[in-house]
């Protein structure tokens, strides 16, 4: 690792009218900062000769204080450059270079008691990050951010891949429209109706002349998530912060800073996916050790509930109260998934196939009426149902070399969870659990707070910290979308925070394009627990009555490809053991594929259309390739020039079968093997909604 | 103990038009319940021939459902009577009789999906309690109470002793006006401005014809506190529930019930004070043992901060952050009260004088800028300041046979406290603490919630439960006012929840009448930690600059009397040791007076004017008398007929000195001794703002 930081320039006062201009290290991007005559800060961004962002306003609205968006003068300018390389605990590549030029402009408001606000820019060759900083100062100690006034003014009416600005959910399919056509009025809200022109980040944009622009944020800490309000006339975006229960956005104490606002830009779509800008803008971990953190694959007592073969709840009663209920007296409904025998079946299956863990949902009391009641006391996280034998399962799992993964559904009663977290983690340690999947379904308690507001952001981060202190890994569902904090909390393996595979089980589902958009949007911030690997595509076979017409909107081969195209260090083999046992040849790919990587190549990508990714498994010479398409059949030709020259590999190609298509014939697949090397070109035929997965293993001589 | 409950009458349907009438066990009070032709439930209350309450409406407004206040029919009527006697863990009397007649009316709303609401009345000879019950039923499981529509319609323009309906504080002086004149518009809010005609309970009323009526509630559990909106034209009161952060009042799940609404009534003021109706309406404790609960007197590192001789904070810096601060590097301000040497001084003092405990405030880090910043992370409750040696003090206190009392100021960041409560109680057990004084200064976090709302009510009760499970006693400051829950949680020794003695140190103070009103208002619900016993009445002597003109608004003798007139099982000797050491003769009363009693006699009482109380110390033949007056000098003549006939007692009378008055000459007192018996009459001369205290000890032969 090399580290190189030096101060290029420091000045004092008298800059008000001057523009500050910075070129990225490789001279690809140019950032300009300027104050208007009225002292309004603005910035703009160019890629070569093309405008990425037109002049866009910056500013902060504080409660009870003059707005920090005009009447400002430049008090100081600091410039520096930085170049080093760091090693992630786990990830898509072995090392990450962090090379940027920095410009920090200290703004001062004479009419506002000389309050100061710093705007710090970090300009990379693949994008820009900037944040606001409130330095320690006499006239700004405790303050409340009412709103942030950051603009991202696009030069034209770009194509946008967007979801509505629901403060409490991001589990939407993506709409693809021009900026001028953004309007979510007709979209059924998942949780909270959004302003029709308010959308979420990561926002993927594409210009007519082929510029790919991604807008998001990095290191969301002690601050609400940023939504974007679209000016459909002028193609401008303006920040809107998710409000707290009081309506204000953030309660802060100086010195403090906002998350980084990120703009990743390239004229090549794969470069957007390869960008490490967001990770670079996060802080390194402070955990003293990380060797207890293990990327992993898991199965779980989970999909059988989604396909109505089993239930989370033990009894079919309702109107249960957590305290005062004698759970042993409830009448079991006979199809409770998390029973000891069934969990043992999953443990045996995981052990047999070399999968590390077994998730069990519905193990703990409270599922009889857990959701949608805005009720505080739902779960206690330590009391198993009568048919779930914690000790017996601990012993059995240990004897099989498999870990059980804990499940903590909070039903968004977060105050209740926080009261019980310490005891819950003690329980986990006592019974040998080292990872927990958390859930936040429903409306937040404290009532009036939102999933994406400051209070909840602090909760998620505190949970990552607390689990980390207990050497526990965590996978958060229904949380705020990630912003690269897995660099700081490498035990935070993944989040859901988007529309996962589960929606295919009980809703109109995820359209075939969905997984080609996710990497350009939700995954820009971090890994997703999408739960791929569904082999039984048509769900009627599990429960003809209740699953009528329900299906996964991909082919089986595409489900395999997702293990490569949707990056995550924790991947579920989401289908039932019996589904895999019917197709052991296809299941072999899931058994083989890695979850931690030394290298990643985005071979082809277009948001909403297709994606082909190759990754080199951590510490081995094996490569895995995933290729997926939207609803259109497509031929993807890939050259294996990433392989080590001179080495022969056996490629196992899991491809869509003849006549396969996501809707008519999704389970048709074919597996072929061939010897390849770095000069080989493969032609992959992707069915409508289809894909292909390839394992590449060096041939031992 | 005898227990006698039998069902007098049970009927079904067809009662709609009939009035239900109940007479109290001793035939003193008469309750009538009736439905109007529109199906509106009403009740009224009479004492003999006099109306206590005119017909008053009952009802519940539920969010999104038809209002349960009209269109109701009587579906069922249940009547019963009850008589038993129980023994409190500690209290004013040894045994309490619980004798009432009960009427439970089940109301059903045909137009509202046959939803049912039960109104349960318990009629005592000294008052009425009633509550709403939501039975288990198919069409009402989870529901939200928007408002409760309970009326208390007084027959005339009574005199009222009231404080404004601040959702977050009850630390007000009392206004004494006619109901028609209730208006708090000109009263400076302590925390949150009240609607001008909204007032708090316990509300004390007096009619022109000498009826004393007290309105409050009992067993406030999982529900917000009830405020009262005054109809100044018609002398009606209507319930208003303290709202949650969302504006709704209570989130409930059937079966559930509200607290009891209580009306205590008598034509003798002392009988109001002697009523045990509120305690009777609370549930017995479920704690398996209570022998670890000890009524106690304590001193504390506390008043020296109020009189500006010492500080809670260790350093005079501000803008501290809890995490990341190296407290050992802060520059001490040199007058931090909670330093090891000073605490040892208090321990030695307590040991010397037989006081059980020493409270220490300001022992833990975070006081540099703890209040009024609506900041979540202020205290961690386990990190002492560098000059407070926990281990050394534990050993020293143990060697002296004295307990240290823990202090947990939460600064109302309750989410933060709840996260840390478990660790904080572990810390207490580890270092030998068995009691904790909690504090809730400032605005509540979760932001938008109120001190007196449902969420906080649940917090206080949960804290009582949790401390109890850890065999810890608790004394809550700035909490909701008590409602008799110390029967259920006998470890909940006291609350502040009113304007305590401390206001004399730094505000316009408490007028001399204040302590004659408190027993009729705040204390109706339970004990108060008022912190009496200030000997150094004029506070300038401690700090001439900062305490200019500040004083306690009583005489010294009245401070002694308060130990008897203001009942609490936990009483502070609030002044500094040096103040007591200057007047060991007067201090002897504080050393002698009990904090737990076998009997109590209210000898004379008039709210706002005077109060004389005699109490028999638990398990002894000693009696203690306190007599206090308002700003007027007064002669109180008392007959000691409560003493055991034939026994001679030595009375030590701590009286106001010649020429004493609260403002001009507050520290003049005289102590005289005389032999007395059950036939003795004593004439007590009370100075303006004065009082007298008497100890009565049997003369050993």
Nearest CA in chain A to B318: A141
**DSSP H or E stretch at residue A512:** none
pLDDT for residue A17: 54
Q: Which residues of A touch B447 (CB under 8 A)?
A: 244-246, 251, 446, 455
**Which of A132-141, A377-386, B4-13, B348-357 shows the lowest per-residue confidence on average (mean pLDDT)?**
B4-13
CB pairs under 8 A between A and B: 83
Summarised one tens digit per residue, pLDDT across range B520-532 is 999 999 999 999 9
Confidence tier at B17 by pLDDT (50, 70, 90): low
Peptide bond into B255 cis (omega under 30): yes
What is the percent of chain A with per-residue pLDDT over 90, rounded to a whole number?
Answer: 96
Q: What is the model's pLDDT at position A56?
A: 98
Q: What are the phi and psi torsion angles at A47 (to 5°)? A: -115, 110
pTM across the whole model: 0.96
Q: What residue spans of A239-319 are helical by DSSP H?
A: 269-274, 277-280, 303-306
- From chain B, pick out residues whose CB is under 8 angstroms from the CB of A249: none
User: Residue B97 corresponds to which tokens in the numbers above?
Assistant: 């009789």
Per-residue pLDDT, A414: 98
B374 vs A contacts (CB less than 8 Å): 142, 144, 251
Which residues of chain B does A373 touch, with a Cβ-Cβ cutoff of 8 Å? 141-142, 253
| Angle, CA B16 vertex, CA B11 and CA B18 arms, to 5° | 80
pLDDT at A686 over 90: yes
Do the chains contact at B447 and A245, CB–CB below 8 Å? yes
Q: What is the mean pLDDT of residues B630-654?
A: 98
> Do residue B422 and residue A421 have CB atoms under 8 angstroms apart?
no
A650 in catalytic set: no
Q: Are B49 and B155 in contact (CB under 8 A)?
A: no
**DSSP helix/strand/coil, B321:** coil
Is pLDDT above 70 for A9? Answer: no
| Averaged confidence pLDDT in chain B | 96
Cα(B357)–Cα(B350) distance, integer angstroms: 7
Joined tokens for residue A282: 């996060």
Chain A residues with beta carbon closer than 8 angstroms to that of B421? 419
Collect all residues of chain A within an 8 Å Cβ-Cβ radius of residue B136.
319
Helix (H, G, I), strand (E, B) or coil at A273: helix
- List A256, A409, A502, A622, catalytic entry: A502
Cα B694 from Cα B624, distance rounded (Å): 6
Cβ–Cβ of B246/A423 closer than 8 Å? no
Peptide bond just before B187 cis, omega within 30 deg: no
Domain ranges in chain A are 3-280, 503-574+586-701
pLDDT of residue A484 exceeding 50, the answer is yes
pLDDT category, B684, cuts 50, 70, 90?
Answer: very high
The alpha carbons of chain A give a radius of gyration, in whole angstroms, of 25
Nearest to B627 by CA among B568, B674, B693, B559: B693
Residue among B62, B324, B447 with most chain A CBs within 10 A, to mutate:
B447
ipTM, 2 decimals?
0.94
Cβ separation B448–A245 shorter than 8 A: yes
> For residue B318, what pLDDT is reported?
82
Give the pair of three-digit tokens for residue A90. 């786990």
Q: Give the nearest partner residue to B418 out of A418, A423, A455, using CB atoms.
A: A418
Which of the residues A143, A243, A319 would you substitute to probe the B interface, choosing the one with the greatest number of B C-beta atoms within 10 Å?
A: A319
CA distance A60 to chain B (A): 20
CB contact under 8 A, A246 and B376: no
Q: pLDDT of A259-310, one tens digit each? A: 999 999 999 999 999 999 999 999 999 999 999 999 999 999 999 999 999 9
Report the side by side order of strands in the sheet with A226-231: A20-23, A29-35, A41-47, A50-57, A151-153, A236-241, A226-231, A198-199
Q: Which residues of chain B lie closer than 8 angstroms to A448, CB-CB?
A: 244-246, 446, 448
Instruction: Choose the closest CB to B448 out of A141, A376, A448.
Output: A448
Nearest residue on chain A to B319, judged by CA atoms? A141
Q: How far is B418 from chain A (nearest CA, A)?
A: 6
**B292 HSE (CA, 13 A, CB side):** 17
Chain B residues with CB-CB distance to A under 8 A?
Answer: 136, 141-142, 144, 244-246, 251, 253-254, 318-319, 321, 369, 373-376, 415, 418-419, 421-423, 446-449, 455, 458
What residues have CB less than 8 Å from B59, skipping those under 6 apart? B40, B41, B67, B68, B69, B70, B148, B149, B150
Judging contacts by C-beta atoms under 8 Å, the chain A residues touching residue B254 are: 319
Q: Which residues are registered as beta bridge partners of A23? A: A30
Indicate the residue of A373, A423, A446 with minimum beta-carbon distance to B446: A446
Strand partners, B213: B205, B265
B432 CA to chain A: closest CA distance, Å? 23
Confidence of residue A441 (pLDDT cuts 50, 70, 90): very high
Fold designation for B3-280: Beta-galactosidase; Chain A, domain 5 (2.70.98)
Dig out the tokens for A402 from the structure. Answer: 């498999």
- In B36-170 the beta strands, taken as DSSP E runs, fall at 41-47, 50-57, 60-62, 72-86, 96-109, 115-124, 127-134, 142-148, 151-153, 159-162
d(CA B469, CA A90): 44
Catalytic choice (B502, B513, B515, B606): B502
Query: Nearest-CA residue of chain B relative to A462?
Result: B419
Chain A residues whose C-beta sits inside 8 Å of any chain B C-beta: 136, 141-142, 144, 244-246, 251, 253-254, 318-319, 321, 369, 373-376, 415, 418-419, 421-423, 446-449, 455, 458
Which phi and psi (to 5°) does residue A630 adopt?
-80, -145
Each residue's pLDDT tens digit, B355-390: 999 999 999 999 999 999 999 999 999 999 999 999
Q: Which CATH number fits domain A503-574+586-701: 3.20.20.70, 3.40.50.2000, 3.10.180.10, 3.30.200.20?
A: 3.20.20.70
């Amino acid at each position: 690792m090399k580290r190189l930081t030096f101060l290029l320039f420091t000045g004092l006062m008298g800059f008000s009218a001057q523009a500050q201009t910075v070129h990225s290290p490789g001279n690809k991007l140019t950032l300009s900062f300027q104050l208007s005559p009225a002292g309004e800060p603005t910035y703009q961004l160019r890629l070569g000769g093309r405008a990425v962002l037109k002049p866009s306003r910056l500013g902060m609205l504080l409660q009870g204080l003059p707005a920090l968006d005009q009447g400002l003068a430049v008090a100081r300018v600091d410039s520096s450059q930085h170049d080093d390389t760091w090693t992630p605990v786990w990830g898509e590549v072995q090392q990450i270079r962090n090379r940027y030029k920095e410009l920090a402009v200290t703004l001062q408001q004479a009419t506002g008691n000389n309050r100061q606000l710093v705007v710090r820019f970090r300009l990379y060759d693949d994008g820009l990050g900037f944040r606001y900083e409130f330095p320690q100062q006499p006239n700004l100690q405790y303050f409340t951010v009412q709103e942030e006034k950051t603009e991202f003014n696009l030069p034209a009416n770009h194509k946008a891949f967007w979801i509505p600005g629901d403060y409490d959910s991001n589990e939407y399919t993506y709409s693809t429209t021009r900026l001028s056509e953004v309007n979510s009025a007709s979209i059924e809200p998942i949780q909270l109706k959004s302003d029709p022109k308010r959308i979420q980040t990561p926002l993927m944009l594409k210009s007519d002349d082929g510029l790919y622009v991604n807008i998001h944020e990095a290191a969301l800490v002690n601050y609400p998530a940023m939504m974007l309000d679209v000016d459909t006339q002028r193609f401008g975006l303006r920040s809107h912060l998710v409000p707290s229960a009081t309506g204000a956005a953030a309660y802060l104490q100086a010195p403090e800073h906002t998350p980084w606002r990120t703009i990743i830009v390239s004229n090549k779509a794969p470069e957007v996916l390869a960008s490490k800008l967001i990770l670079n803008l996060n802080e390194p971990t402070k955990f003293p050790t990380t060797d207890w953190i293990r990327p992993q694959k898991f199965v779980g007592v989970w999909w059988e509930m989604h396909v109505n073969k089993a239930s989370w709840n033990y009894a079919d009663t309702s109107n249960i109260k957590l305290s005062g209920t004698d759970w042993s007296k409830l009448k079991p409904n006979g199809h409770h998934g998390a029973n000891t025998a069934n969990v043992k079946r999953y443990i045996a299956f995981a052990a047999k196939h070399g999968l590390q863990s077994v998730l069990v949902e519905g193990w703990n009391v409270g599922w009889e009426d857990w959701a949608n009641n805005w009720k505080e006391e739902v779960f206690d996280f330590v009391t198993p149902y009568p048919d779930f034998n914690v000790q017996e399962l601990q012993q059995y799992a240990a004897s099989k070399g498999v870990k059980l993964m804990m499940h903590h559904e909070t039903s968004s009663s977060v105050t209740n969870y926080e009261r019980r977290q310490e005891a819950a983690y003690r329980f986990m340690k006592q019974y040998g659990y080292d990872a927990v999947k958390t859930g936040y379904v429903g409306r937040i308690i404290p009532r009036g707070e939102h999933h994406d507001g400051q209070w909840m952001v602090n909760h998620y981060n505190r949970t990552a910290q607390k689990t980390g202190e207990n050497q526990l890994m965590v996978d958060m569902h229904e949380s705020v979308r990630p912003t690269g904090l897995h660099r700081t909390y490498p035990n935070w393996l993944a989040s859901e925070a988007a529309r996962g595979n589960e929606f295919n089980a009980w809703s109109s589902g995820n359209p075939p394009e969905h997984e080609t958009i996710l990497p350009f949007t939700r995954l820009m911030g971090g890994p997703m627990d999408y739960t791929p690997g569904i082999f039984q595509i048509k769900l009627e076979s599990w429960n003809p009555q209740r699953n009528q017409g329900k299906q996964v909107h991909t082919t089986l081969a595409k489900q395999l490809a997702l293990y490569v195209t949707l990056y995550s260090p924790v991947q579920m083999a989401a289908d039932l053991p019996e589904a895999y046992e019917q197709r052991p040849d296809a299941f072999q790919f899931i058994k083989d594929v890695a979850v931690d990587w030394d290298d990643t190549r985005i071979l082809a990508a277009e948001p909403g259309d297709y994606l082909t990714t190759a990754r080199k498994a951590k510490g081995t010479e094996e490569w895995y390739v995933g290729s997926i398409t939207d609803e259109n059949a497509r031929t993807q030709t890939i050259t294996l020039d990433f392989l080590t020259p001179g080495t022969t590999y056996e490629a196992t190609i899991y491809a869509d079968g003849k006549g396969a298509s996501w809707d008519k014939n999704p389970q048709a697949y074919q597996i072929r093997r061939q010897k390849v090397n770095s000069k080989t070109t493969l032609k992959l035929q992707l069915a409508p909604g289809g894909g292909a997965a390839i394992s590449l293993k060096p041939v031992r001589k």
